[in-house]
Chains A and B, each alone.
Chain A
Amino acid sequence: MMARLKAPRSVFVEFPLGRQCGKPDEPELQTKILKDALQVLTTATTPGEIVELPYRWHESFDWATYLRDTEQMLNEEGSEKQEWKPKG
């Protein structure tokens, strides 16, 4: 998605959605990510460049994890599921 949008300067952290700036209550990691991201303002030279940061999530995750976790979240919170239906 970032490659399609081509923001002038982008930074990619391979963490699950909702934790882009780091893990909860880990201020040191959060600070490292932010410093790395902000530095790109001064170091980037190519418009649309995506800088990948080296931080790794503690467990593997994939699309199925995303679906499972968002469903679990809705169940825990007693939230209604989105019931979209295609038109027609």
Chain B
Amino acid sequence: MSRIEYVGCLDRQYQSQGFPPYKWSQFDSSPWTPFKKPLNESSIALISSAGIFRDDQEPFDPWAVNDLSFREIPVDTPFERLKLRHNYFDHRDALKDLNCVFPVHRLKELEKSGFIGRLVPKAVTLGMGRLYKRTALQNETVPKIVGVLKEQGADAALLVAA
């Protein structure tokens, strides 16, 4: 089975409908901070872009365009209280078991078994969708998310891209 080349497929799909080419982000280098702590002493934060929000929070628009917002979700929130609004992927398996894209139960188990030191109490979720305002995302949204992670003492973040 050959691997899906999403960028090419998306480009062909939207350009065939008359949309201008999307300017995909491309970086020449990668930031690096050595990770020195043992995993079993580390605080891990979860970030998801699957459009997940709690029933008392502002919903994500499933067809989001330029949504730069994020939610903070306590990781002990029962799944019955969590909603998923994101139509850019087949979310039916995620609705059966949210751990497919938001693996908090598994991460809590890994904390309990001592594989990781701790899962930080609040996960961060985004909706994303179609995003053109990348500078605003980097300069406005990301520092706020970093703040949420730092105030919880996170050593590393696991980003599950939807």
- State the A residues within 8 Å of B (CB): 1, 4-8, 14, 16-25, 27, 30-31, 34-35, 37-39, 41-42, 44, 47-48, 60-63, 66, 69-70, 72-74, 76, 79, 82, 84-86
State whether A30 touches B29 (Cβ < 8 A): no
Closest A residue by C-beta to B44: A38
- State the B residues within 8 Å of A (CB): 1-4, 6-7, 9, 17-20, 24-33, 35, 38-39, 42, 44, 50, 62-63, 87-94, 96-97, 99-103, 105-107, 109-110, 115-116, 156, 158-162
State whether B90 touches A16 (Cβ < 8 A): yes
A30-B90 contact given A1-B24, A24-B97, A42-B39, CB 8 Å threshold: no
Q: How far is the CB of A54 from chain B (nearest CB, A)?
A: 14
With the chains together, A37 CA to B19 CA distance in Å? 36
A34-B106 contact given A18-B93, A42-B39, CB 8 Å threshold: yes
A31-B106 contact given A22-B100, A41-B156, CB 8 Å threshold: yes
List residues of chain A with CB within 8 A of the CB of B25: 4-5
A17-B30 contact given A25-B97, A38-B158, CB 8 Å threshold: no
With the chains together, A41 CA to B157 CA distance in Å? 10
Q: How far is the CB of B111 from chain A (nearest CB, A)?
A: 11
State whether B50 touches A18 (Cβ < 8 A): yes
State whether A79 touches B29 (Cβ < 8 A): no
Q: How far is the CB of B59 from chain A (nearest CB, A)?
A: 14
Partner of B91, one of A14, A66, A73: A73
List residues of chain B with CB within 8 A of the CB of A31: 106, 109-110
Partner of A20, one of B18, B42, B101, B105: B101
Closest A residue by C-beta to B109: A31
State whether B19 touches A84 (Cβ < 8 A): yes
List residues of chain B with CB within 8 A of the CB of A76: 92
State whether A48 touches B29 (Cβ < 8 A): yes
A27-B106 contact given A4-B25, A42-B35, A63-B4, CB 8 Å threshold: yes
